[in-house]
Structure 1
Amino acid sequence: MVKMPTRNSTFIPLKGGIDLSTTPLAKAPGFALAAVNVDALASGGYARTLGYDRFDGRPSPSRNRKFTSIDVGDAPDAAHPVFTAITWAGGSGAYLSRSGHFINAVIIEGSITAGTILDIAGVGYVAQQDGREYSKTKAENIANQAIAADWRRSQIGPVPGVGPVRGVIAVRNAVFAVRDIDVNTGGLFMASEAGWQQITSFGWVLTVTNVANISNGDVTLTRTGDNKVFRCVAQLAADGKSGVVVAAPGDAPAVGNVLTGLGDATCTVAKVDAITIKAGGRYQATVHNFFGGTGQRAAYVASGVQRAFELREDGWLVPLHAQPDATKDKPLEIAIHSGHLFLGYEGGQYQHSAPGNPHTWSALLGAESFSIGDEITAMLPTTGGVLVIASARRVFGLYGSGSKDWEQRALSESVGIAAGTGQSLFLPVGLSDRGLVRLDRVQEFGDFALNQLDPDHHFKAMIDGMDWAFSTQIAELNQYRLFSRGLTHLAVTILADGSPMATTFQYPSAVAGVWRYTEQGEQLFFCLSGSEGMVFTIDKESRSFDGAAISWRIRLPFAHSGSPGVKKTWLTALVEQTSPNQAPIQVKWSIDHMIDAHFTSQKVHSIVSEDPSAAWDQVAIWNQTQWNQFYWSGSYGYTNAPIDLSGTSASISILMGGASSSDPNFTITGVTLDYFARRARRG
């Protein structure tokens, strides 16, 4: 009697990120050979990468997908362009789509009740019942939500001005952007429910003499003669008898005016200069409340083209006079550490304010300066109480808590951090000329072999092959993000023990700048080349790249189910994912490392001819010219049913992917493979 083969199953939990260095047979099956537009989660699984939306202060498209379905009965199905205006007595909206008897629309004002007469481009309709906020099916609901988000997206505009956005700054509930107005002048714009609004007046710098009884910081001064009140910030010399007072926007005091305050405070105005923003620069900001009072939280900003400044929630800009000579006072780097504001300059010099007061820069009052002898590329405060100051070749740490006990120590004389790549997560991370490094290990050991974030070189080939420009972090994911000057970028999830899991993500054009804040939760803003003036923000609720589909794919290593020498007939694959919705997934597979001459899987076509945009599953094991040797069989399936496989081999590699601008986000947690074990491999 012929014995029927036993059906076997093997479950592959997905975790680990990209591994391009481990040999094929030793590679853990849950790792990936390629992972594009997915994030490796610390808890396991691969989530579709976070989408993003454009931003100008108006409601987020991805968080405002609401639409209304209007029953218009058997009215003729006239063709209306998407977003055509809809009007009725007491209301207006925008046309989205037609589903049988229902017109789907965004309601701008008013509401729809039974009997409402609608006008769409001259065509009349009558609502048969009150409007409802859902479609007939889940699929239609998701599709109409996406179109509604697109309408809201169409209302969001760029920052006015010319050239790139120089910086985005968030402080408390306000978000600002800097963009040049012309070749000489920069502009500051505040996000609002009406979009970006230009701030046209920044206030005045008053050079003052005959000063008495005024302390550095906020002060209210009154003009003698007419009792005009000025809101000011004093920044005086060590003797307190001269310096500058920055007055808030509004009427300016005149030269010769005497200003007085509480407790016999007085000063005389010797010079008045309007505050301006210069064109150019690369803006970096850090946010802090030095004074502890309500409403005293402010952003501290460096640009490399002018003095650093304090930016308050209402748009008041206060230049910080850290050095007497304005032509030299152009810091490039900025950080807050141990109650001091630190500024980094060209040539490797850095200095800090007096403790607890960013308006005091006199050495006699606690300010101090240092130098590392190389151009500063990063200033990173750490949870261990050490300020890391790096150049491209060396790393230093500033220990202590103030001018009485500061000590600058060299942490590495051979490893540095490239400009724009340093981030302080729960451990400091940066890109050196030898790969990603953990700076806490530099501090602890001083041995470069232990400094590498990726000592097994799982993704070092990707690091070495790209030109990196910017970095940021996503704290919720324990993720370090590294942006190249091209279209492909790196996301590295760092586990509690410091080990990394890397994936990639691809945006439609190069990233031109990135800024992160934690003022209203975690806020991550960035700009893209080719989208001049537009600011984007990453949003975990977003299902698209600003309305464009997120195309994702994961290529798993060859799995042999623990028996690399046994031939197997592959039966089914079941992909497990967390979304309550069906997630359409395209699945393909290849067998036996592509080296056997005999393939039992059906030849469909090469991956290159299928997707000419760029070998969407390139890995280090094979180069582009070999793609036409790959034979695939595949189908579209949903995660609630197994996907039929075919072919006999000792091992199999699964490639899964998809593309959508509307499907809810999901996480793929594992793959179950069913197969018959056949015989031992011969030869």
Structure 2
Amino acid sequence: MKMPVVRQDYYPLGGGLDLVTPSIAMAPGMVIDAQNYEPAIGGGYRRIDGYERFDGRPSPSAAAYTLVYANTTVGIVVGNTVTGANSAATALVLAVFNTYLVCSRVSGNFQVGENLRVGATSVATITASQTSNGASSVSDHADYVFLAANDQRSLIQVVPGSGPVRGVWVFNDVLYVFRDNVAGTAGTMYKATAGGWVQQNFGVEVQFTAATAEIKTGDTVSQSGVTGVCVAAMLRTGTWTSAGAGTLIFASLTGGVFTAGALQVGGISKVSAAGASTAITRLPGGRMEFFNYNFTGANNAGKMYGADGVNLAFEFDGNNYIPLRTGMAQDTPAHVLAHKGYLFLSFNASVQYSSLGAPYSWTVVTGSGELDCSKPVTGFLPQGGNQAGSSLAIFTAERTFVLYGTSNADFKLVSSIFDIGYSAFTCQQVSNDAFGMTTRGIQALTTTLNYGDFDYASISHMIQPLVTRKRGMECASTTLRTRNQYRVYFTDGTALAVGLTGDKVNGMLPLNYNRPVRCICTANLSNGAEVTYFGSDDGYVYQDNTGTSQDGNAIEAWCRLPFNNNKSPRIRKRFRRVVFEVVVDGFSRVNISYDLGYGNPAVLPSAPQSDTSLSGGGGYWDQFTWDQFNWDAAYVSSPSLSIDGTEKNIGLLFYSNRNQDQSHTLQGVTLMSTPQLLQRS
């Protein structure tokens, strides 16, 4: 007997979301609907990692559990603290089973044979030595790790204050955060420490005039019994020996406050205070932007610079907060960047830059200057430029400018010939290009050998319907260099992940964080690790790309592949089996189902009608008959699904919605089918 031919067709997954190509022409490795999968660098789709709250304490995902074995667990409930009668060891109970307890916050070692107490009451006897992370199955281990993570999560605190987090930034491996105070009357700054958030002191400042001799950092300044160690001496106009004026900054003063009059160093009058010294404060509100830069070239002399559109720009060295006055009538810059030894600040359509190597000096006499961009500036990004050296891209809402030159002696501002402007807080350097949101979608600013050195290219045309719906909602962005990704975030809590392989975009996929990302930063620590933190409306700061959940909530993820006709759209096929190529970071449970014939309800099996739908193929996920797979890196690499149905095409759907599972990457699919008759009608 001649057996029917079984055709095997393999196709790799990659290319991202496609909302514009007709179904019959779509590449089988694309996606027609997805949530919380990201493009993988080498191809495929990876379910994203989670995020978890952060304040400097150990992260929830780093928490461990301990199994404590007893002859009985009757009388013990979750939340009890159990104590060893002889050892005095203690543990917090996270889960109770017949012969053992899942515990955290374990102190000491329980002894075999000793009584186990809840309060003063003995409730059980220890039967075996305790074990750390010792579950008998990978599934139980995932569950218990999540219980321990939830316990650690409860210890991590919100940033004190009110309103959304205004800014997050990493400087010298330390995370700093800005938020309004509880009354909403002032801005505050906090530092993440091993004990949680610690508020930073802004110090004291005094304005001076009539300088006759230089005051240096570290000098002790005095006046009538009031003294203070100068942490910054900023000369804005004049010189230190002739009509110099500026600001002196102190961490604190001893003996009172300075008043108008002479200020001395070593008994010699050097400047005259223009008025009383005042505590440095910040107004509430604004949206922070930051940049780290070393203006001196000395080792470990880098500093952090910031602006928010409401307050003075500032410098911070890890201990001292130093406001920067430029002399502008409304001295509240919105964007900040250091470039070629100059500090650049934007004031609406005006761009001001400091003197060379002197972020405190803002006078034309010492080399400061101004650039007119006609429209409000939305951001700065350094670029590769031309053979003369690097350049600076200056973005506005309507046009992009490029600043060429090496100093104020030859700076040249060139306007783009294209009428393309970028939204604030969406511009990021990705590989050799700059990405950002525009009215035309996500655009790449790329270097070119053509005249003008830069060109534009839309990278979001495959998902333009989605980008159009999100227009005006963009609020933050970041670059993940270890993943070669650009991410842009929207006010509704969603985001887009743009993946690259080298300089080429390999796909774009939508994400759902279920909370708005109001501010975000990605930094490389001194140990080489890349970390990402973001702040939200609830006042918490979250560490991104870590853990298995969205701060304890399940990561709901799905990936719906196109309807694949195996290059024969009119041939009916009997589909028999599909084999998946999967890489798993750890234990992961995934649901898989399929639709035949574009989800035609007259074809069995198909998706029943439901009130929650996935776009793209008429399929519905919440009433599928699922085949469930438990994937673990140690055991499964090529799971398969038996199929029973005959139609012209098939569409696959992956779905997961658990908070204890590690990530997995869908790399490819092998589809087994038997061709049958040509459908003529």
SS across alignment from 1:358: coil
- Partners of 1:546 and 1:19 in 2: CA distance: 30
Match of 2:117 among 111, 115, 119: 119
Residues 324 and 331 of structure 1: CA distance in aligned 2, closer, same or farther (over 3 Å): closer
Residues 183 and 303 of structure 1: CA distance in aligned 2, closer, same or farther (over 3 Å): same
Report the equivalent of 1:80.
77
Residues 518 and 288 of structure 1: CA distance in aligned 2, closer, same or farther (over 3 Å): farther
- Partners of 2:22 and 2:301 in 1: CA distance: 56
Question: Which structure shows the higher strand fraction?
Answer: 2
Report the equivalent of 2:43.
44
Sequence identity (%): 25
Q: Does 1:655 align with 2:668?
A: no
Report the equivalent of 1:602.
605
Report the equivalent of 2:20.
21
- Name the stretch that deviates more: 121-130 or 630-639: 630-639
TM-score (norm 2): 0.89
Match of 2:246 among 235, 243, 248: 243
List aligned pairs for 1:176-187, cutoff 5 A. 176-181=176-181, 182-187=183-188
List aligned pairs for 1:222-371, cutoff 5 A. 222-223=221-222, 230-236=229-235, 237-240=237-240, 241-251=244-254, 254-255=258-259, 256=261, 258-260=263-265, 266-271=270-275, 272-314=277-319, 316-323=320-327, 325=329, 328-346=330-348, 348-371=349-372
List aligned pairs for 1:658-669, cutoff 5 A. 658-669=656-667
> What is the one-letter code of the residue matched to 1:425?
V
SS across alignment from 1:143: helix
Report the equivalent of 1:534.
540
> What is the one-letter code of the residue matched to 2:446?
D
User: CA contact under 8 A between 1:396 and 1:412: conserved in structure 2?
Assistant: no
Residues 189 and 653 of structure 1: CA distance in aligned 2, closer, same or farther (over 3 Å): same
- Partners of 2:12 and 2:579 in 1: CA distance: 12
- Partners of 1:242 and 1:223 in 2: CA distance: 18
Residues 656 and 136 of structure 1: CA distance in aligned 2, closer, same or farther (over 3 Å): same
Residues 633 and 572 of structure 1: CA distance in aligned 2, closer, same or farther (over 3 Å): farther
- Partners of 2:297 and 2:492 in 1: CA distance: 43
Report the equivalent of 1:416.
421
List aligned pairs for 1:494-509, cutoff 5 A. 494-509=500-515
Unaligned runs of 5+ in 1: none
List aligned pairs for 1:437-476, cutoff 5 A. 437-440=443-446, 451-454=456-459, 457-466=461-470, 467-476=473-482
Residues 46 and 440 of structure 1: CA distance in aligned 2, closer, same or farther (over 3 Å): same
- Partners of 1:67 and 1:571 in 2: CA distance: 44
User: CA contact under 8 A between 1:341 and 1:358: conserved in structure 2?
Assistant: yes
Residues 419 and 580 of structure 1: CA distance in aligned 2, closer, same or farther (over 3 Å): closer
SS across alignment from 2:446: helix
SS across alignment from 2:82: strand
- In the TM superposition, what is the alpha-carbon distance from 1:603 to its structure 2 partner? 4.3
- Partners of 1:13 and 1:123 in 2: CA distance: 60
- Partners of 1:97 and 1:402 in 2: CA distance: 65
- Partners of 1:672 and 1:79 in 2: CA distance: 51
Question: Which structure shows the higher helix fraction?
Answer: 1
Deviations 1:102-153 (A, max 9, x none): 2111135334343454433656333333321122222211111111011100
Deviations 1:614-664 (A, max 9, x none): x2x223xx6xxx668999664223454321112112221111111221112
- Partners of 1:646 and 1:396 in 2: CA distance: 59
Report the equivalent of 1:673.
671
- Partners of 2:486 and 2:229 in 1: CA distance: 45
- Partners of 2:24 and 2:316 in 1: CA distance: 57
User: CA contact under 8 A between 1:238 and 1:365: conserved in structure 2?
Assistant: no
> What is the one-letter code of the residue matched to 1:70?
V
- Partners of 1:440 and 1:43 in 2: CA distance: 23
Report the equivalent of 2:202.
202
- In the TM superposition, what is the alpha-carbon distance from 1:399 to its structure 2 partner? 0.9
Report the equivalent of 1:556.
561
Report the equivalent of 1:158.
158
User: CA contact under 8 A between 1:106 and 1:148: conserved in structure 2?
Assistant: yes
Report the equivalent of 1:105.
103
> What is the one-letter code of the residue matched to 1:512?
R
> What is the one-letter code of the residue matched to 1:247?
F
User: CA contact under 8 A between 1:223 and 1:257: conserved in structure 2?
Assistant: no
- Partners of 1:140 and 1:631 in 2: CA distance: 27
Unaligned runs of 5+ in 2: none
User: What is the count of residue pairs matched by the alignment?
Assistant: 654
SS across alignment from 2:457: coil
- Partners of 1:103 and 1:629 in 2: CA distance: 37
Deviations 1:604-623 (A, max 9, x none): 523x34xx4xx2x223xx6x
> What is the one-letter code of the residue matched to 2:173?
N
- In the TM superposition, what is the alpha-carbon distance from 1:370 to its structure 2 partner? 0.9
- Partners of 1:90 and 1:218 in 2: CA distance: 54
